[in-house]
Structure 1
Amino acid sequence: MEQRLQEILNEQFGKTLDTADSRQVYQALMLFTKEKMAALPKTTGDRKLYYVSAEFLIGKLLSNNLINLGLFEEAKDLLARHGHELTAIEEAENEPSLGNGGLGRLAACFLDSIATLGLCGDGAGLNYHDGLFYQKLENHKQKEEKNPWITPQSWLTDTGVRFTVPFGG
Structure 2
Amino acid sequence: MKIVKDIGTALAVVLVSVFVIIAGISFFSAPDSSGLLGYKGYTVVSGSMEPEIAVGDFIIVETEPYADVEKEDVITFQYNQELVTHRVNDKTAEGLVTKGDANNIQDQGFVTEETYIGTQKILIPYFGYVVTFLQKPIAFAIVVAFMGIYLIHLYINPSTKEEEKSNI
Is the TM value for this pair above 0.5? no
TM-score where L is the length of structure 1: 0.22
More strand by percentage: 2
Task: Return the TM-score normalized by structure 2.
Answer: 0.22
Q: Which structure exhibits the higher relative contact order, with contacts defined as CA atoms closer than 8 Å and separated by 6 or more residues?
A: 1
